[in-house]
């Protein structure tokens, strides 16, 4: 019997980038008959250039935003939909999709290169090189964090041409809350791994530096495989962390849609 019946999707954005990265994905799924929303994080409304102009002290609401408050904003988005939706999240958004599924608030979840929830210990050097600065150790939480172009090139768009890397940075990169990233190290990022859950698909990319495939595989293996829940895993070859905007994005969307339609 098919388990996923919802025709509604909430797209959950990750850290460091605008929610507009979901635009093509929303069009794709809406053309397949789904209702979609992709809410921006609190205090991240506006275009990337406008948000970057406020860095580092011009957006105190974002600077003080906590991970728990961010998750609550997506809880509100989910509850405002006409039916229990499917959550599709990328990076930190993927982790939040796992949390919403664990709470029983969504019918199913797709975690695209998700950041690790509490209980998954990241030991890969590239994870810390790609995202460690966002913790802002020994820096004021009153200032937002903005990934530099050089760090963005390593963390998100490695392997792409210099021209495409710069264009992606200009179109996507926005300031971040150090309070949110610090919250990923706390119980705010926790879930009950043994609890049964709706269908879950975790995807990874062979070229992802900041969230390497090995980290996503440990995330997948943390779930019990004998509790009656559907938990699936797929590694895509050649994908970096800018997966939502890579030329291959539609292949990934095709795979995800097929998983949803057949589960």
Give the pLDDT confidence of 129-170 residue by residue, as tens digits.
999 999 998 899 999 999 999 999 999 999 999 999 999 999
Is residue 58 scored above 90 in pLDDT? yes
The model's pLDDT over 218-231, given as tens digits with 9 standing for 90+, comes to 999 999 988 899 99
pLDDT attached to residue 180: 98
Is residue 35 scored above 90 in pLDDT? yes
SS3 per-residue string spanning 42-60:
CCCCCCHHHHHHCCCCCCH
pLDDT attached to residue 1: 80
pLDDT attached to residue 176: 98
Is residue 183 scored above 90 in pLDDT? yes
Which residues, 6 or more positions from 115, have their beta carbon under 8 angstroms from its beta carbon? Answer: 14, 15, 91, 92, 94, 95, 184, 211
pLDDT attached to residue 64: 97
Count of other CB atoms within 10 angstroms of residue 107: 19
Which residues, 6 or more positions from 194, have their beta carbon under 8 angstroms from its beta carbon? Answer: 224, 227
Residue 211 CA to residue 69 CA, distance in Å, equals: 23
The model's pLDDT over 237-256, given as tens digits with 9 standing for 90+, comes to 999 999 999 999 999 999 99
Averaged pLDDT for residues 24-40: 98
pLDDT attached to residue 226: 87
Averaged pLDDT for residues 24-30: 98
pLDDT attached to residue 138: 87
Residue 228 CA to residue 135 CA, distance in Å, equals: 37
Q: What is the mean pLDDT of the chain?
A: 97
Residue pair 73/19 in contact by the 8 Å Cβ criterion:
no
Which residues, 6 or more positions from 224, have their beta carbon under 8 angstroms from its beta carbon? Answer: 193, 194
pLDDT attached to residue 132: 95
């Amino acid at each position: 019997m098919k388990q996923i019946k919802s025709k509604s999707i909430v797209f959950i954005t990750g850290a460091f980038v605008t929610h507009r990265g979901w635009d093509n994905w929303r069009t794709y799924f809406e053309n397949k008959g789904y209702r979609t929303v992709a809410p921006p994080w609190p205090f991240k409304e506006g275009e990337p250039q406008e948000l970057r102009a406020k860095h580092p002290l011009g957006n105190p609401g974002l600077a003080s935003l906590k991970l728990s408050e961010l998750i609550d904003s997506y809880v509100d988005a989910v509850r405002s939909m006409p039916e229990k939706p499917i959550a599709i999240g990328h990076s930190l958004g993927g982790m939040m999709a796992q949390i919403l599924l664990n709470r029983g608030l969504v019918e199913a979840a797709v975690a695209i290169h998700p950041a690790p929830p509490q209980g998954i210990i990241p030991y890969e050097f590239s994870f810390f090189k790609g995202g460690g600065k966002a913790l802002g150790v020994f820096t004021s939480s009153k200032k937002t964090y903005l990934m530099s172009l050089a760090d963005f090139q390593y963390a998100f768009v490695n392997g792409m041409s210099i021209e495409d890397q710069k264009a992606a940075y200009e179109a996507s990169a926005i300031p971040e809350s150090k309070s949110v990233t610090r919250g990923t190290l706390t119980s705010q990022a926790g879930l009950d791994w043994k609890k049964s859950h709706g269908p879950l698909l975790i995807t990874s990319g062979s070229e992802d530096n900041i969230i390497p495939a090995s980290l996503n595989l440990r995330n997948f293996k943390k779930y019990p495989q004998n509790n009656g829940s559907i938990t699936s895993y797929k590694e895509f070859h050649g994908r970096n962390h800018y997966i939502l905007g890579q030329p291959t994005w539609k292949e990934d969307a095709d795979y995800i849609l097929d998983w949803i339609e057949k589960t």
